[in-house]
Amino acid sequence: MNDAIVSESIRQFFGGYFHQDWALEAKDWQTSVDNFTVGETSTVLINLAQQIDKLGAAYAEDELEEVMYRDALCSFYPAPLTYHEWLEQVSDRLRQHAAALERGASPKN
């Protein structure tokens, strides 16, 4: 396993917004991502999206499930999506927020 792919930013994002009690703080995973973006810059959001893309590309699905829980500190299981599909949607949502910030608007939810 390539532990270098799981950066501190990845751990802080997934560990902070997808911990075991994440559903007490957000109605769905999209809201949890949205909550993270509050007060962040577009640069931070794009950087995190790129790191998430690298993470998804680095592992097969069965490995990714283990890495997400053990190394990325993520307690969210994305069924019926695979982790690959979900991570792609997470990074897309981060990019939408970044684009909205650059336009000076709120992203479409």
Q: What is the pLDDT of residues 67-90, one digit of tens each?
A: 999 999 999 999 999 999 999 999
What's the domain count of the chain? 1
Q: Are 45 and 57 in contact (CB under 8 A)?
A: no
For residue 56, being part of any structural domain is answered with yes
pLDDT at 6: 92
Core vs surface per residue 39-48: b (16+ CB within 10 A) or e: eeebebbbbb
Asked whether residue 109 is domain-assigned, the answer is no
Per the domain annotation, does 108 fall within a domain?
no
Average pLDDT across the chain, whole number: 92
Confirm if 26 and 35 have CB atoms less than 8 A apart: yes
Predicted structure pTM score? 0.90
- Structural domain including 52 reads 3-103
